[in-house]
Amino acid sequence: MPDAVVVEGLSKRYGAVEAVRGVSFTVGHGEIFALLGPNGAGKTTTLEILEGFRTRDAGRVEVLGRDPGDRAEGRALRERIGLVLQDIAVEPYLTVRETIARDAGYYPSPRDVDEVIRLVGLAGQERRKVKALSGGQKRRLDLALGVIGDPSLLFLDEPTTGFDPSARRSAWQNVRDLRDAGTTIVLTTHYMDEAQALADRVAVISDGEIVAEGTPSTIGGRDIARARIRFALPDGCSVAELPVAGLPVDAVPAEAVPGDGLVTVETRKPTEALHELTGWALRHGMVLDRLTVDRPSLEDVYLRLTEHGAPEHNTRRSTR
Ligand SMILES: Nc1ncnc2c1ncn2[C@@H]1O[C@H](COP(=O)(O)OP(=O)(O)OP(=O)(O)O)[C@@H](O)[C@H]1O
């Protein structure tokens, strides 16, 4: 089956600003794909082109086998995609149920209204007026409106902004359930834990260009990065006293950033290094307090990949 989304060499400029520069990626059917990037990186522009709301200057775009820039195909495509955007306009005096039922009427074969209410966790709120919903409940309603048409492809723009932690977890489960039922999902988020928890694949866009693409656990070489062992130096002990000779050759203990007082040992052989360090501590009757072992998080990798994408670099003036 061809991919649900194909983007090749996509470019878009606004006057002198080159918002998107030669972006290429694909999204397979039934996949959750996250587009990550700093403010102004070009995410919204890219998604709006895929959704058919913006024209492109160059490149090829195919969404569910159709060109979203082709007006003649627009209606057929819109019936098969769902959108959960920021600030969807809804009628404040309608109830939750009325709002969802009204939108169901716009689609040729919508999902069952009550099933969608349950799916997004609004059961019990059906008769409340939209204006009386909390921010998180309103966002759930946005999700309900995105899926009521039973889309094959769903675009989610920062789906859990404003959610409390437990509402986020349940929204993530909603999204996974949709994926498991066969919906392809393209999302943007500024929460790296959200991308880690949800996405099958992520692409990082910075300054209008894709700078990395992969699974959340392998992107940017995360899986082969050195592990980081951290602990508090036992009282009265200095870094120089640590058993450096017995550590793997790539492991050099270093005092960590001032403030937390933790020592860091980075190594590709964490098992050996931990064995040496904890064995040394036990032999000396000491405790390695606050001991942790981790690898660079998705957020660490993301920050490294986008460090040149800070807002002051984001006004891309063309030299042409
Ligand atoms: N309608 C517009 N007219 C002129 N410039 C625009 C327009 N829309 C976006 N831009 C510029 O294009 C660049 C990319 O913007 P875009 O909204 O696509 O970024 P984004 O990654 O979605 O950012 P955010 O995370 O803040 O939503 C920015 O420099 C922005 O100022």
* Mean of all residue pLDDT scores within the chain: 89
312: left (phi over 0), alpha (psi -120 to 50) or beta: alpha
d(CA 39, ligand 1 centre) in Å: 8
Does 43 contact ligand 1 (Cβ within 6 A)? Answer: yes
pTM for the full model? 0.85
pLDDT of residue 315: 44
Confidence of residue 313 (pLDDT cuts 50, 70, 90): very low
Interval between CA 71 and ligand 1 midpoint (Å)? 23
**What is the mean predicted confidence (pLDDT) over 206-226?**
92
Return the pLDDT at 312.
Answer: 42
Q: How far is it, in rounded angstroms, from Cα 228 to Cα 83?
A: 40
User: Which is more confident, 89 or 47?
Assistant: 47
Q: Is the CB of 40 under 6 A from ligand 1?
A: yes
Q: Is the CB of 21 under 6 A from ligand 1?
A: no
Please give the structure tokens belonging to residue 89: 């306009």
- Only one residue has tokens 């048409």, namely 149
Instruction: Give the mean pLDDT of 236-246.
Output: 80
pLDDT in tens, 125-144: 999 999 999 888 888 899 99
108 pLDDT more than 70: yes
pLDDT reported for residue 209: 96
Whose CA is closest to atom 25 on ligand 1?
39
Confidence band of 170 (pLDDT split at 50, 70, 90): confident
Pocket test residue of 11, 44, 51 for ligand 1, highest count of atoms within 8 A of CB? 44
Q: Within 10 A of 319 (CB to CB), how many other CB atoms are there?
A: 6
For a substitution probing ligand 1, which of 45, 156, 315 has the most ligand atoms within 8 Å of its CB?
45
ipTM over 0.90: yes
Residue 310 has pLDDT above 60, yes or no: no
- With 0-12 / 13-18 / 19 or more C-beta atoms within 10 angstroms meaning exposed / middle / buried, residue 308 is exposed
pLDDT at 253 over 80: no
Residue nearest to atom 26 of ligand 1 (CA): 39
Residue 33 confidence (pLDDT) above 70: yes
In contact, 40 and 184? CB cutoff 8 Å? no
- Residue with token string 């002198």: 16
Tens of pLDDT, residues 256-289: 555 677 888 889 899 999 999 999 999 999 999 9
Q: Work out the percent of the chain whose per-residue pLDDT is above 90.
A: 63
Q: Grade residue 235 by pLDDT with cuts at 50, 70 and 90.
A: confident
- DSSP-derived pairing of the beta strands 32-36 and 17-27: unpaired
More confident residue, 252 or 256: 252
Domains and CATH numbers, the chain: 5-80+152-221 (3.40.50.300), 226-294 (3.30.70)
Q: Comparing 87 with 105, which gets the higher pLDDT?
A: 105
Average pLDDT score over residue span 224-240: 86
**What is the distance between the alpha carbons of residues 41 and 63, in angstroms, rounded to a whole number?**
22
How far is the C-alpha of 1 from the C-alpha of 61, rounded, in Å?
17
Distance 84 CA to ligand 1 centre (A): 18
**pLDDT attached to residue 246:** 73
Ligand 1 centroid to Cα of residue 11, in Å, is 13
Cα–Cα distance for residue pair 145/116, rounded to 1 Å = 9
Q: Does 156 have pLDDT greater than 80?
A: yes
Check if the beta carbon of residue 19 is closer than 8 Å to that of residue 12.
yes
User: Of the ranges 18-27, 60-69, 158-167, which one carries the lowest mean pLDDT score?
Assistant: 158-167
Instruction: Kindly state the average pLDDT of the residues 213-242.
Output: 88
